[in-house]
Chain A
Amino acid sequence: MNYLTLIMAIPLLGAALIATLPQSKSLLAKQFALGTTLIAAVATIFMTTKFERSNTALQFVESYDWIKAFGIKYAVGVDGIALVLILMTALLTPIVVLAGWNESEGGRWSTKTFYILILVLQTMSFGVFAATDVFLFYVFFEAMLVPVYFLIGGYGSGERSAAAVKFLLYSLFGGLLMLASIIALYVLSGEQGGHTFDIEALSQLEMSSTTQNLLFLGFFIAFAIKAPLFPFHTWLPDAAKSATPGTSVLLLGVLDKVGTFGMIRYCLSIFPEASKTFTPLIITLSVISILYGAFLAIGAKDIKRLIAYTSISHFGFITLGIFAMTTQAQSGATLYMFNHGFSTAALFLVAGWMISRRGSSTIADFGGLQRVTPVMAWSFFIAGMSSLALPGLSSFVSEFLVLVGTFTRYPVAAVIATFGIVLAALYILIPVQRALHGPTEPGNENLKDLNLREKIAIAPVIAVIVVLGFYPSPALNIINPAAAQVVSQMGFTDPLPTHGGK
């Protein structure tokens, strides 16, 4: 059964169906979009149940020739890491559709177009995580920029087109650097037994260390921009501020994961030596990102920018975990990607509701929401607690795994990174205090609390956050073998306890 192609096809079919609807039936378009994403989610969950957790090989593999002249294949397959990210995408999209039911209405174009873009984006996202052919990956990687670009520029607010352009140019720039590396890989593979883009085959290539380092950088910078890692992050706050909340969720929750996912899937496996060479640098950048993003978040005055900055900090943790090269950090990083998707989704969706009710995204314009709109305030609070990695919520597990895993190999980095948890308390509690606590500011008295649709949308997100906080095993069991595989393929074993055994 070609599950992966199937789940990629479902949104595309839905998009085609919506395209046939008349312009005026915007409600129908929304319902179709929700239905499609729900079907895709169910299909993905079903696929997840068929996944053999103990098997570290790629599963649900499909491979067909695409461009034979270049050895390019339509090849897909997932390991545990890719699977959880696909699952996350599949779960988040219907939530985004439901949560942002009216998001498309302030846009430049029709509702129909909005949902077509969303669905196309979903297909691309599945593809980018599932691809096992570097070229196919690149195609999805670049092509998914286009729907996001139109989603930001067409349906966002404020300086939306400037933000969309900034996003696109940043990403394209990174993408082109990656393209240069891909070209080099292609040529190298041609010299060493036939052109191919298969990851497995590429990871066997012989390269001089200079070549490897340069090519690694091509990939890594592309991913660092996407992730985003300091100092390549400045597109994110603008994009997140201008995009609709739903788009922001997909942007930060799904799209940015491509960066960190790419680091695992491509940087590590194809350039193991270069990865080791650059590890000190990357760890440094990650730690800087953690603290830097946190400080920026503390200083942020706009709630959406704040969330974007927190993500920079969180992506620092993820990158740190990836390059720490211990099973704990690796699993933690992947779990972090999954969890971050949901906690950011919760933050953005609730922030979006707050903003749409208040008509402002400046934190100072809120105040006392806890008394006016308790459910909304609580949702925001829980999301915030998840963001600051409160134990008992899902992010804690992943953040702690990253830290503890990093500590065994890079104690200094882990120690500095840990300061991020104090800063996290600041950047979450400051907006909580300003927006939710305090006296009810004028203009906020009559805000409406969440309606049923919004409650239905946020409930599963919070449920995931809480359940995985207490019982992360379902996710970890999928991730662990793949993460361990990554670490062992890199030739690393976990550092042993320095004193005594268990």
Chain B
Amino acid sequence: MPESVLFWIMGPLAVVAALGMLLVKKAVHSALLLAWVMITLAFFYIAQGALFLGIVQIVVYTGAVMMLFLFILMLVGVDASDSLTETIRGLRPIAITAAIGFGGLMVSLIGRASLGRESVGLDQANAAGNVEGLAYQLFSTYVFPFEVVSALLITAAMGAMVLAHHQREVPRSTQRDLSEQRFRSGSLATAAGLPGPGVFARHNAVDVPALLPDGTAAPASISETLRTRGDMIDSSQFQLDQVNTEVKEEK
């Protein structure tokens, strides 16, 4: 039975991969493991007569959704890794107990259950082709939710816009704009732009003001923050004419 073979190989692997999601440190690895689980599921879908879904699973889920995840992971920092030590007191034992309890109970319940009727198989339903069958359903019986889903898509799009996109109220000033502004500001003194720090001084650290032609310091040349914080160095010591011109011979 090829399906059995498929199941017994892929099934355990999927479960292991899923478990791995919980245990690996790096989020990227989790994402890859999840992608693997999803691909496995795609195989299972196809094996169970859901050809269309299987393909969609790979295209939409593994392809698009997981890519989105990875994309965001890149954004947030691909190296981000979780410490797996538990910080919330008592949560780990609860989680382990819950895992065993939940899984155990579910498996035990399913084990006790039987459908109570024969498993029918999809041969009849898929008689006209799986895609056609689904299409009948989607566009006839479930056309209303199908349409409503569109609202969901709009919401999602708009939500992403709201949270991520901020329309600029003022267009960002171009260099030309800035330049024009300088010239039109009335004073031509600054039209050419402010001197950078360290100009004409013997030192060009950010906290060393430029020197004006008369040798005095130009406070406008350093960041306002530094100035107000008093981190401006007295630049007189760096005046060129004060510098000992006797060049010492150095080895």
**A touching B, CB within 8 angstroms:** no
Measuring CB to CB, which residues of chain B are less than 8 angstroms from any residue of chain A? none
Question: Contact residues of A with B, CB < 8 Å?
Answer: none
